[in-house]
Structure 1
Amino acid sequence: MESYLEPHQARRREPTQYESLLGDAIERAYALGFDDLGALVRYLNETGPGPQDGMEWTESVFEKEMARLAAD
């Protein structure tokens, strides 16, 4: 039997509006060619959404937010 990935097999719940907006923004950034962390962070600061703590994105803030979201 051939293995395949079910797109949402690891999801425990529906994404929040913030998670959906952030995911969409990250996808747009990659589509525009922003494929390194510094460029991605600059793009997110220009277009949003911002981090949930109300601060600006930094590389460190982005990495911590991705780890937090992955743990949910």
Structure 2
Amino acid sequence: MNVMKHMEAVFVVAISLAVSSSYLLDSIPEAQARSYAADTALVASGDKMAVVTVTAKRLTDEEKQAAGSRG
């Protein structure tokens, strides 16, 4: 009930925050996106291809069941 008594003050604070954040966001410059197209000759030859190797131990049935029951 206390909020209802001070609804005008809450509204004024909310509007002042919205206006000030609008001015702050307008002062931030926009990001400049660059297009990095893949060089088709380089990709086709496969000279610089990233290779990811994932090594890990396999889970036992008990570990799988324990992991499934957590979520």
Under TM normalisation by the shorter chain, which class is it?
under 0.3
- Superposition TM-score, scaled by structure 1 size: 0.25
Larger relative CO (CA 8 A, sep 6+): 1 or 2?
Answer: 1
